[in-house]
C-alpha cells in the first residue's frame, strides 16, 4: 500500500494541507460575516421603521438605500416629490412660460419646412424649433460633436435649472441624477455620416459618431456638464420616452435613492430619413401642405395623420424637504406614475384601449387619487385615426361618466408630435395648468367624431371656476408602450 495501514486517506503534501486550512478558515470567516449581517438586518427590521423623509443623507446606510422596494411592498411612507423647474424648447417658444402663454392664445407652431428641401416628400410642413443657438447653453467645441437632439436636451436642462433658480454646483453630486431620453436619438448624425461614408470613405467618419447617435448621450452629457453622479441612463420607449423618464425619476426620489432629478425627453427627427420613414408608414399628414396651421387636428373627424415636431422638455424634480430647505418655488406635486404594455402590435394601439386604461388606473392608484378628482388631462392625441379613437375609449373605461366632465386637450394641434420629447413638454403643460388654473385648447377640432365625443376644449382655452387639484399627462409609443403621470396641487406641510 502507498500509505500506512489504518490511515483513512493518504497524507497530503504540506502545501496542500495549508491551502485546505486557509480555505476552511476563510469559509468560516465568511459564514460568521454572513451571520453577523443576517443578525444585524434582523435587528434593523425589529427597530421602528421611519419614513424615508426622516432619514438624512448621512444616516442613510446601504441597507436603508436598498429598502425602497421593500418599503413600497410594506406600504411605508414614500417621500413627496415636487416640481420646481420647467425647461421646454418648442416651436412656440424657448421657455415654458412663453410656450404656455402661446398655447393659451391658440397659436400654432406648425409652418412650412425649412430644415431641408421637402420637394420630393409627401409632407412639406413641420413644427420646427427656430432661432435656437446651442452655444448659449453649451461650449461650442463640445456641442459640435453631438447631434441636434442632444443640443435641444442640453438647452432645456439649462433653461429648467434657470427657471428653478438652482445652481447645480451646490448640490450633493451623488444625490443628483439625470434621466433624459430620446425616442430615436441622433438621426441627423446618422444621415450626415452615411453621406460621408459613401462619398469619402470610412476613414473620414468622426470618432464621435456612435456617441452622438445613441439615445443615452443627451442625458449623459447633461450629467457630465453639471456634475450629476446620481442615477443616469437612457430611456427609449418611442413617444412615451419623456413620460417614462419622469416616472422613473419620481421613484428614485420617492424611495430615497436621490434628492434631485432632471428628467424628460428630447427629439430632433425633422430630417429627410425621418420624414421618409413616417411617410412610408402613412402616419404623417400629407393633405394639408397648403394650410400648415390646420394640418394637426386631434380627435377631429377629418384628422389625417400627425405633423412632425421637434424639441425638448425637462423638469426638475426634488424631494419636498430638499425644495423647502432651499426655498424653491414649487409648481405642483408629481404624485403618481404607471407604465404598461399593450402586448398587441408594434405600431397600432390596443383596439379596446385596455393597455392605456390599465396604465391610467395604476397611475391614479399610485397617487392615491380617485378618477372623480381629475379635472384635466393632457392627452396623447396624435391626430391619427386609430390613436385618438382608442385613447378616448380608454378614458371612458377608467373615468366612466366622469370622462364627460374632464377637460381633455391635445396640444399636438399646436406643437406637432415631438415623439420622445412629447412627454416632457406635455408634463410641463400640466404643471402650468395647475399653477394658472387655465388649460390650453385642442386646435382644429371642428368636425365632431362620434367615436371621440368627450370635452376636448375645442379651439379656445378654458378657465376653471375654482382651483383644480389633479391633472394627468399620458403618452403612448410604438411597441405598445403606455405611460401616465399624475400631478397634484401642492399643499405645504
Tell me how far apart the alpha carbons of residues 342 and 346 are, in angstroms, rounded to a whole number: 9
Provide CATH code, domain 81-483. 3.40.47.10
Q: Is the pLDDT confidence value at 60 over 50? A: no
The grid cell for 17 is 494541507
Residue 43: predicted pLDDT: 32
**Based on C-alpha coordinates, what's the Rg of the chain?**
26
Give the distance from CA 435 to its chain's centroid.
21
Residue 46: predicted pLDDT: 31
Non-local (6+) Cβ contacts of 279 within 8 A are 121, 122, 123, 286
C-beta separation of 406 from 455 below 8 A:
yes
Tell me which of 43-47, 367-371, 379-383, 388-392 is least confident: 43-47
Domain ranges (residues) in the chain: 81-483
Tell me how far apart the alpha carbons of residues 469 and 368 are, in angstroms, rounded to a whole number: 13
Q: Please tell me what DSSP assigns to residue 292.
A: G
Q: Is the pLDDT confidence value at 169 over 50? A: yes
Q: Tell me the CA distances in angstroms from 391 to 291, 467, 474, one per residue in order.
A: 26, 26, 10
Give the active site residues: 239, 380, 417
Tell me how far apart the alpha carbons of residues 111 and 18 are, in angstroms, rounded to a whole number: 81
Residue reference for cell 362620434: 450
| CA-based max dimension of the chain | 104
Instruction: Give the pLDDT band (50/70/90) at residue 24.
Output: very low
Give the distance from CA 53 to its chain's centroid.
24
Tell me how far apart the alpha carbons of residues 294 and 452 are, in angstroms, rounded to a whole number: 18
Overall pTM surpassing 0.95 (yes/no): no
- Pairing outcome for strands 374-378 and 407-409: parallel
What are residue 482's DSSP bridge partners? 340, 476
Instruction: Give the pLDDT band (50/70/90) at residue 71.
Output: low
Q: Tell me the CA distances in angstroms from 296 to 61, 68, 474, one per residue in order.
A: 52, 43, 18
- 275, with CB counted inside 10 A (0-12, 13-18, 19+), is buried
pLDDT digit string, tens, across residues 178-207: 999 999 999 999 999 999 999 999 999 999
Tell me how far apart the alpha carbons of residues 313 and 160 are, in angstroms, rounded to a whole number: 9
Tell me how far apart the alpha carbons of residues 169 and 227 are, in angstroms, rounded to a whole number: 7
Amino acid at each position: 500500500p502507498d500509505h500506512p495501514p489504518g490511515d483513512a486517506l493518504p497524507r497530503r503534501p504540506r502545501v496542500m494541507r495549508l491551502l485546505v486550512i486557509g480555505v476552511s478558515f476563510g469559509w468560516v470567516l465568511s459564514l460568521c460575516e454572513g451571520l453577523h449581517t443576517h443578525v444585524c438586518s434582523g435587528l434593523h427590521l425589529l427597530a421602528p421603521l421611519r419614513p424615508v423623509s426622516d432619514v438624512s443623507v448621512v444616516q442613510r446606510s446601504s441597507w436603508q438605500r436598498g429598502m425602497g422596494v421593500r418599503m413600497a411592498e410594506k406600504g411605508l411612507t414614500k417621500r413627496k416629490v415636487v416640481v420646481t423647474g420647467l425647461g421646454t424648447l418648442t416651436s412656440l417658444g424657448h421657455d415654458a412660460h412663453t410656450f404656455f402663454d402661446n398655447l393659451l392664445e391658440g397659436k400654432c407652431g406648425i409652418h412650412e419646412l425649412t430644415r431641408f428641401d421637402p420637394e420630393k416628400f409627401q409632407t412639406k410642413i413641420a413644427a420646427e424649433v427656430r432661432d435656437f443657438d446651442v452655444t448659449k447653453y453649451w461650449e461650442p467645441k463640445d456641442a459640435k460633436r453631438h447631434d441636434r437632439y442632444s443640443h435641444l436636451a442640453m438647452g432645456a436642462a439649462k433653461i429648467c435649472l434657470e427657471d428653478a433658480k438652482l445652481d447645480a454646483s451646490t448640490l450633493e453630486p451623488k444625490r443628483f441624477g439625470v434621466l433624459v431620453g430620446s425616442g430615436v436619438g441622433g438621426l441627423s448624425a446618422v444621415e450626415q455620416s452615411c453621406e460621408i461614408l459613401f462619398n469619402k470613405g470610412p476613414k473620414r467618419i468622426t470618432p464621435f459618431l456612435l456617441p452622438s447617435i445613441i439615445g443615452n448621450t443627451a442625458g449623459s452629457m447633461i450629467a457630465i456638464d453639471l456634475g450629476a453622479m446620481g442615477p443616469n441612463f437612457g430611456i427609449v420607449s418611442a413617444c412615451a420616452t419623456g413620460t417614462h423618464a419622469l416616472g422613473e425619476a419620481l421613484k428614485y426620489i420617492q424611495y430615497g435613492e436621490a434628492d434631485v432629478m432632471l428628467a424628460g425627453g428630447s427629439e430632433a427627427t425633422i430630417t429627410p430619413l425621418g420624414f421618409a420613414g413616417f411617410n412610408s408608414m402613412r402616419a404623417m399628414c400629407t393633405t394639408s401642405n397648403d394650410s400648415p396651421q390646420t394640418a394637426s387636428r386631434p380627435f377631429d373627424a377629418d384628422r389625417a395623420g400627425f405633423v412632425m415636431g421637434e424639441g425638448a422638455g425637462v423638469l426638475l424634480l426634488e424631494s419636498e424637504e430638499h425644495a423647502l430647505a432651499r426655498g424653491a418655488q414649487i409648481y405642483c406635486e408629481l404624485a403618481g406614475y404607471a407604465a404598461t404594455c399593450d402586448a398587441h402590435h408594434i405600431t397600432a394601439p390596443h383596439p379596446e384601449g385596455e393597455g392605456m386604461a390599465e396604465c391610467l388606473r395604476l397611475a391614479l392608484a399610485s397617487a392615491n387619487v380617485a378618477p372623480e378628482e381629475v379635472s384635466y388631462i393632457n392627452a396623447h392625441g396624435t391626430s391619427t385615426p386609430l390613436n385618438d379613437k382608442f385613447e378616448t375609449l380608454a378614458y371612458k373605461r377608467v373615468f366612466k361618466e366622469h370622462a364627460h366632465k374632464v377637460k381633455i386637450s391635445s396640444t399636438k394641434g399646436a406643437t406637432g408630435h415631438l415623439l420622445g420629447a412629447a412627454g416632457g413638454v406635455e408634463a410641463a403643460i400640466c404643471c402650468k395648468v395647475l399653477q394658472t388654473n387655465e388649460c390650453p385648447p385642442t386646435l382644429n377640432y371642428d368636425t365632431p367624431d362620434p367615436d371621440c365625443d368627450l370635452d376636448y376644449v375645442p379651439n379656445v382655452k378654458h378657465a376653471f371656476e375654482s382651483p383644480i387639484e389633479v391633472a394627468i399627462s399620458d403618452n403612448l409609443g410604438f411597441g405598445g408602450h403606455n405611460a401616465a403621470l399624475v400631478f397634484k396641487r401642492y399643499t405645504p406641510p
